[in-house]
Structure 1
Amino acid sequence: MKSLFSRVVTALVIGLIGLQSAHAQSNQPLMTVAPGMVSYTYRASFAKDVAATLDTIKALGITNMEFSNLFGRTAAEIRQLLDERGMRCTSFGVGYPDLQNKLAEVGKNAQTLGASFVRVAWVPHKGPFTLDLAKQTVADFNSFGKQLKEQYGLTFCYHNHGYEFELHEQGTLMDYIIQQTNPDYVSFEIDILWTYFPGADPAALISKYPTRFKLMHLKDLRKGVIGNLSGGTPVTNDVALGTGQIDIPSVLRAARKSSIEHFYIEDESPSYATQVPQTIAYLKQLTN
């Protein structure tokens, strides 16, 4: 039989091991997937020199791109530039008319780029977003998504922009769109600024629909800015992650329990050259 002393020592050792294990777990990076970059962040630079801009982005340690513009190049030319640098394009952003009028070109360009996702970020409308618009949007999305999946092996994603959070029944029109679209053909890219700006909680929305979001735009809103349902705010209201209003850690914790595969930094501000490195440093220091 163990002496009282040995039992106490054993209990203390077990306790210390437990504390060390808990401490180790608490120091694990909160973001375990390396962030990508939305080309729109560097739009001014890309418009001048695509190759040099890719070099700049790679020097920041980022190799995953979401292109929302080909900047006068062909998809094949962009793909070659990416391949030469060991980079990749995982998502291709297009406009609504592109999907309505030249979906085959969209599908082929996305395939050439090597993307798995095709994303649209704006539903054309004037004035408030209405239920009738939401119904037409659902029909369009189901059609776009079915064609892209069955003909090109691509996943269609809708990127929210704020105006879809008009109240509807017990939720919003964003809820309506998510609930009414076919999950086999329609997924979503959550832009956390354009979720927070109209008054919603990005972490709560991800947790509410954990299997519908596949992509995320990482961005933050300047402190003191009051949001609305317009879908627009001055680009100078984009700030480095961790310096604005959004609770980034809570968003990332929710994302870890979801189906989100890719996280893209998007900073629309003219100060992106200084803010993006701040954002990257902030993400690296976040732990559980």
Structure 2
Amino acid sequence: MTIDFKLALAQLTELLNYQVVKVSGQAITLGDILFIPVLIFIGLLLTKWLTKFISKRLTKQNTDPNAIHLIQRIVYVLSITVIIISILDFMNVPIAAFAFLSGAIAIGFGFGAQNIINNFISGWILMWERPIRIGDFLEVESTKGLVEEINTRSTRIKRVDGVHLLIPNSKLLENTVVNWTLVDPYVRCSVTVGVAYGSPAKKVAELIMQATIEQEETLAHPKPVVTFDDFGDSALIFQVTFWISSQAESGLRVAKSKVRFRLDELFAEHKIVVAFPQRDIHLDGSLTINKN
């Protein structure tokens, strides 16, 4: 059986040139429609390669990760826009032909997806104004965690317990958010301790200061401050306030724990007793002892 390749090629060409629809006087053929996925695939592949290339170059130049993230999003949006315009130009379809249709779709999309649009716009505001950045330690309502990624719809936060949390971008703009590292990573710590009555107050203050400044996390400026807070029910109350550089809440707990460990050693060396609650019991009347 002999196959006429010229005839088959002519039939294939005729099939691909088959007019499917006509838009503003421009004919859209079956070949045009079949070639669209190829253009989209090539466009997305080039976009992915371009964003990776730019990211690697900026990373080598020690560029801020937040700026890299913003540039990636801008490149991605611009690339998608170029792909869409290129496809319309390839099909000889004027963009004005879709003006009415795109307007109707936009109105319907706006009513049906207000939250999505709100989060999308909020995401761009976060990336552009940078009130929240990658690597910041946030406190959102009862949640504390480290920002790992800011997307166009939501922000991914790794909580202190290791669980990942997705927070809508609009929530980060509309609600009160505590950013521990917005301006600098410096955080104030305080440790309170009570010693028994009769302890030398000035010596206790010296030991507390010594235990604090010996820790490598303690910053020299601002200088730690030890205060004699109060005469408690069962103790003399002292408090030391000092500053550390920490990117997360765990740094505070570790720093305060080290100070307490050192205090326990110093108090033991100088025979200073850490106070504990004491109660005196007074009995009125006489006790009767039954000898039977």
| TM-score, length-scaled by structure 2 | 0.18
Higher relative contact order (CA 8 A, sep 6+): 1
Q: Which has the higher strand share?
A: 2
| TM-score, length-scaled by structure 1 | 0.18
